[in-house]
Chain A
Amino acid sequence: MNTSAPEIAESGASLSSVASLKEVTQRYGRVAALDGVDLDIPAGRMIGLIGPDGVGKSTLLGIVAGVRRIQSGKVTVLGGDIADTHFRNSVFSRVAYMPQGLGKNLYPTLSIFENVDFFGRLFGQSREEREWRIQELLASTDLTPFRDRPAGKLSGGMKQKLGLCCSLIHDPDLLILDEPTTGVDPLARRQFWELIDRIRSRRPGMSVLVATAYMDEAERFSWLVAMNAGKVLATGSPEELKRDTSEKTLERAFIKLLPEELRRGHKEPEISPWQPTGGTPAIEAHGLTQRFGTFTAVDHVNFRIERGEIFGFLGSNGCGKTTTMKMLTGLLPPTEGTALLFGHPVKGGDVETRRRVGFMSQAFSLYTELTVRQNLLLHARLFDIPEDAAYKRVDEMLARFALEPTADTLAESLPLGIRQRLSLAVAVIHEPEMLILDEPTSGVDPVARDGFWQLLIRLSRENGVTIFLSTHFMNEAERCDRMSMMHAGKVLAQGPPAQLVAERKAKNLEEAFIGYLEEAAEKSGSRAAPPAPAVEEESARRPGTSSETQSTFSLGRIWAFARREAVELRHDSVRLAFAIFGPLLLMIVFGYGISLDVEHLPFAILDFDGTATSRLYADGFRGSIYFDEKRPLRSYDQLDRRLRDGELRLAVEIPAGFQRDLRRGRQPEVSAFLDAAIPFRAETALSYVESVNDEFITHLREAKGLLPVSKPVKYETRALFNQQFKSIYAMVPADIMLLLILIPSMLTALSVVREKELGSIANFYAAPATRLEFLVGKQLPYIGVSLIQFATLVVIAILLFQVPVKGSWPVLLGGGLIYVLASTGFGLLISVFATTQTAAIFAAAIITILPAVQFSGMFVPVSSLTGAAWFAARIFPSTYFQAISVGAFTKALEIQELWRNLVALCVLALIYFVASVGLLEKQEH
């Protein structure tokens, strides 16, 4: 069936293949995503990859795009070996890749313009070139009116069009789209394909490789690859596939191509007509409205669902389906209007109604870290099913939903189809009277979807369960008893599907829906008329097309990454405020709060003597800022209790006969009881007590006319750098050191791992950019923010705390810069290393604080460290900057004394950066 009868090549495009795979096998754990695939993909055509989820379509596209590492086999793309790093880097500028998931490769806080602009910069286009290209792309996708709207606030269809703009900005020869229209409404979908057709007619040489789950879409492609279980089932044009299987639709043809064992048990779900049972309606909504700020997500929606009915909500992503369902479940209080479940108004805290409802949210929302059985059991228990009945019920569910083979598998390793079955099993485990299902079959392949519907039909018709579901599949909407078409928060039409089709005199439901959509668009005028073709023709003649020079290092690309990161940071004002005002506030608090000066020690006197002399002795402690006197003590018991209580830190016992003994020259013994739980404080207190005692003796000797005590050696003590022994002069420079390691590393620690978790890292994989460029670009904005922090901290130190810079300004500033390079570099290293954001913040907090506080010299001199602490101090930058900060501020040092620390900081900053570059992946595994 392979490439039969060569189609007439469109406009003289090359007849050879755009990509070919030989013996490609890709394994993930025990599963083979691709299993010895041999495939030649013809150039200059529109090629579709069809097949259920988890059969290896995305893996295949990722490999061809060069973003996924090949495990075994040989892949040639655009005439070169894609496994070859050098070739891959040069070919990236001819390939565009749009990963799966709505807006997955977009930056949600960036505006439409900023998103496209970033890609333009990435491909080294000049400002002039970017401007006309963006203008043209936005015009041809109708996005011009929304150019300043953040990507996160676009509807699904708009997101995908924007993704396409981003992909097309560099005129690729090969365009790879992974399920670009999943979750997009039919009108937007139709417009999307029209757009692709126009682009192809303009650039006939371009090959387009698309994976799709919609069989009706696949009909329009010129060549198809049908896949299942990591293998290619068949290739050829849609007509050929249908002819070979002698089926009328592609969907049926595909099912026929599947191996026997998969097809077994599959039959088109049949639905018996619904018999109304009467009684209070299961769900009623009156004028339900939800506004977020100025945006109206749901606009006066009314409907009524009878018991046992299957009611469908048809509409695109972002049309308000999910929001409506959330209001029905009580998750969101409506801004206006009321919702009734079984005749009772929905209330947020209404626990009893929830027992009668089963809910399945759009995204998989069960615990991925639990097994199938554990998930079921947890929910059974949470619905208060008695323990023994719960086990029985779980077994029943496992059997009914065919989950037995995977009962002890972790939910995270399940394919999407099975996850959805599990979600449904969880939703019905407590035998609810009503099910609310938000796009339960999104992303599920046709066979699994039919199986799922059979379960739903059984629940409705046999058990009388009311089912309210949302979908964007037409054939599913057709199966509903009644349905409602939704768009932009409004219900366009409502009724039995057949009736809606008839009303519009449409061929099928899809056409009817598109008809309603167009009618609504005309009314609101939100969708522009088809774009003027004039713009397109012009493009061929436009000047300034980037010359395809592929340098290995480009400042332009670094700037593209840095700019994007900076814009994102600027849009997240909360994070920016935390980053700038956080250290400022902490510095002020620490400057006043962290002090090693021991003052105001609570103490009490236990005077057994009670004479003038003993009172004189006790007076030595009074009136000093070091001591605060408390009620005098009466007994040892009290002394013991009040010390243990923490009320006293010091107790001084003057023995009975103190005066008498002194007069007789018998050395009386005064005892100082210290709370040594904090030894540092106790030691300091002790030295105060000793000096009070000394003073008393000196006075006494004078009074008695004795000579002063003679000493063998005279001591002259010079305290360098900080004569007044004020801890502020040591602590404020140390606070700068502390804050500049903790906050910048926390700030940077999420930069890369967040992109990994959210998926936009794919842009880097597919871009002609090196790891070095990417990381420098990532780090730059954080260095900028950290330098602002540094500047404010220095200003506070000087102006607020009056700690002057006595030494070298250049060393302090240069040291600050390099220190910030090192601390953001450390954060970057954590970010590259970590696989989840949670782990990254955790690591940033736990790893930095110990060496920064304990081993840097802030409290304990570095020269006193030994063993592991000594080692940790050497490989951590805070030690060196502590020396620079204290040196330049307080010790009045210059470059001669501090240069070694500068060198050490440079070396560490470099090591962190090089390690990050080394650990960063440029391809997915």
Chain B
Amino acid sequence: MRHLLHIFQLGVKELLSLARDPVLLFLILYSFTFSVYTPSKSAVMDVVNASVAVVDEDDSAVSRQIRDAFLLPLFLPAVRIPFSQINRALDEGEYTFVIDIPPKFQHDLTKGVTPTVEIITDATAMSQAGRGPGYIRKIINKEVEPYWSGKGKASNRELVRLVTRARFNPNMQQGWFVAVNQIINNISVLAIFLTGAAVLREREHGTVEHLLVMPLHPYELMFAKIWANGAVVVGAAMASLFVVVKAAIGVPVAGSIWLFLEGLGVYLFSVTALGIMLATMVRSMPQFGLLAFPVFIVMSLLSGGQTPLESMPIALQKIMQFVPSTHFVSFSQAVLFRNANFGMVWRDMLKMFVIGCAYVAFTLTRFRKMLAAIQ
């Protein structure tokens, strides 16, 4: 009981300190508003706002119709460029797709001669180049339909009809995913840096030492930091989820908010513990920056939030199992999108918890050693 009280009191102190640092408060605000909203509206890994140029060598009614058929949100309005500009346009990354409509296009169509349309893609734009041409073909096919003489049209009925049922995000809106992923990233970065820097600050100002000569146990200090910084991040993340993700971006959060909150709590426990652990492994703030940042970058890019986990080599997938964010990404997607219940995600929660405990245990063995290192 007494220990819980200490943890509570030290945590309140932590919150008071944070409240007096306007720069940090501003950065927290920035990361849960701008850095969630902006990428979800614009930087989505999908054929969204794709830039198209059309080389129209026919300049007929149908080719003009095709040019006008590229519409948002998939495509930006198509721009007509001369044939000679194709290479330049693609080299400079000005357009991701260039469509070449040959001369006599409309003529051939009506005469039943199959014209050839060339679709040139910038294959370094990995997130669009793969699926873009499919959409472009669909659009062109639809536009040319009325002009096509229709030889063999009748036998075209497909033998099997393929029906797609996209679950959990019926229109496959990438923005939803990006928004949630950004929240997860910001939770991680704040948790690591807030707690880690808090430990180093106490060390540099000598206050840790002071606390350790009081009737306190090191774990009380640790858990105080964990709960206080965790609470700040939970508050900010939940506010961001409701205000930015649900209200402003319009993602219909599917699952139980309470379940998500529980998982978030477990995740924060493990990731704040990670921040403290990293802080005890270095001697100064510059070293902490150079250690914690790469750790965070790895968490942000390889946990399955930015690119699918299944695409990674098996060995790396295995290693990432020891990083709590991997489980949290999987947990969040399950709860927020797939409306998973506790029975489906308890494994993720347990793993996060166990990892957090391992970090805490490791840190506690180093706490006194770390103090000796300040000398």
Contacts and interface: CB of A to CB of B under 8 A. Distances in A.
B61 interface: no
B287 interface: yes
Contact of A365 (B151, B176, B206, B298): B206
A749 B285 CA distance: 11
Interface string B279-323: 000111111111111101110111000111011110010000000
B316 A359 contact: no
A720 B109 CA distance: 28
The 5 A-B pairs of least Cβ separation, nearest first, read A710-B152, A722-B123, A869-B42, A677-B337, A863-B51
Contacts of A859: 43, 45, 126-127, 306
A675 B338 contact: yes
Contact of A646 (B131, B283, B334): B334
Given A578-B291, A643-B338, A842-B193, A361 B210 contact: yes
Interface string A860-882: 11111111111010000000000
A725 B129 contact: yes
Contacts of A297: 375
A330 B129 CA distance: 64
Nearest to B95: A863
A272 interface: no
Nearest to B49: A864
Interface in A818-855: 834-839, 841-846, 849-850, 853-855
B339 to A, nearest CB: 6
Interface string B177-219: 1000000010001000100010011000111011111111100
B214 A715 contact: no
B285 to A, nearest CB: 4
Interface in A255-312: 292, 297
B122 interface: yes
B352 to A, nearest CB: 15
A593 B316 contact: yes
A332 B368 CA distance: 8
A539 interface: no
B41 A869 contact: yes
A675 B169 CA distance: 8
A641 B210 CA distance: 54
Interface in A782-811: none
Contacts of A839: 21, 23-24, 27
Contacts, number: 464
A355 B172 CA distance: 62
Interface string B12-27: 0100110011011001
A111 to B, nearest CB: 19
B286 A382 contact: no
A743 B289 CA distance: 9
Given A749-B289, A838-B201, A854-B39, A681 B308 contact: yes
A844 B310 CA distance: 31
Contact of A671 (B131, B151, B163, B283): B163
B164 A672 contact: yes
Interface in A336-367: 348-349, 351-352, 354-355, 357, 359, 361, 363-367
A673 interface: yes
A667 B298 CA distance: 48
Interface of B: 2, 5-6, 9-10, 13, 16-17, 20-21, 23-24, 27, 30-31, 34-35, 38-39, 41-51, 76, 88, 90-96, 109, 114-131, 133-134, 137, 140-141, 144-145, 148, 151-153, 155-170, 172-174, 176-177, 185, 189, 193, 197, 200-201, 205-207, 209-217, 282-294, 296-298, 300-302, 306-308, 310-313, 316, 330, 333-334, 337-340, 344, 368, 371-372, 375
A713 B141 contact: yes
B298 A589 contact: yes
B51 A687 contact: no
25 contacts: A329-B213, A359-B210, A366-B210, A369-B21, A370-B16, A378-B9, A586-B298, A592-B313, A646-B340, A669-B161, A671-B163, A677-B169, A678-B177, A687-B131, A696-B160, A713-B109, A713-B116, A835-B23, A839-B27, A853-B306, A860-B42, A861-B122, A864-B49, A868-B38, A891-B124
Contact of A844 (B92, B124, B153, B289): B289
Nearest to A709: B156
Given A348-B368, A668-B160, A678-B333, A582 B290 contact: yes
Given A361-B210, A859-B43, A672 B165 contact: yes
A845 B194 CA distance: 12
Nearest to A378: B13
Contacts of A484: none
A716 B116 contact: yes
Contact of A883 (B20, B23, B93): B93
Nearest to A360: B210
A843 B189 CA distance: 11
A575 B302 CA distance: 24
Given A363-B205, A867-B42, 17 more contacts: A292-B375, A410-B20, A594-B301, A596-B307, A599-B311, A600-B310, A649-B310, A678-B333, A679-B173, A679-B177, A710-B152, A715-B118, A746-B289, A747-B290, A853-B300, A866-B49, A883-B92
Given A348-B368, A730-B124, A689 B16 contact: no
Contacts of B176: 679
Contact of A855 (B31, B43, B298): B43
A675 B372 CA distance: 52
**Interface core residue of A365, A582, A662 (most chain B CB under 10 Å):** A365
Contact of B340 (A578, A644, A853, A863): A644
Interface stretch (A126-134, A193-201, A700-708): A700-708
A742 interface: yes
B201 to A, nearest CB: 6
Given A686-B164, A687-B134, A838-B197, A743 B290 contact: yes
Nearest to B193: A842
A522 interface: no
Given A676-B167, A678-B333, A713 B140 contact: yes
B145 A712 contact: yes
Contacts of B206: 361, 363-365
Contact of B371 (A331, A681, A725): A331
Contacts of B163: 669-672
Contacts of B375: 292, 297, 323
Contacts of A731: 126
**Interface core residue of A595, A678, A843, A853 (most chain B CB under 10 Å):** A678
Contact of A750 (B20, B286, B308): B286
B118 A718 contact: yes
Nearest to B344: A645
A365 B214 CA distance: 13
B41 A331 contact: no
A416 interface: no
A365 B207 contact: yes
A683 B131 contact: yes
Nearest to B185: A849
Nearest to B255: A644
Given A674-B165, A710-B153, A716-B117, A579 B290 contact: yes
B297 to A, nearest CB: 6
Nearest to B17: A369
Contacts of B291: 578
A859 B114 CA distance: 36
**Interface core residue of B44, B115, B120, B126 (most chain A CB under 10 Å):** B126
Contact of B167 (A643, A687, A868): A643
Given A676-B170, A861-B128, A866-B41, A742 B293 contact: yes
A263 B55 CA distance: 92
A676 B169 contact: yes
B290 A864 contact: no
Interface string A554-576: 00000000000000000010110
B4 to A, nearest CB: 12
**Interface core residue of B160, B310, B313 (most chain A CB under 10 Å):** B160
Given A746-B289, A861-B93, A594 B297 contact: no
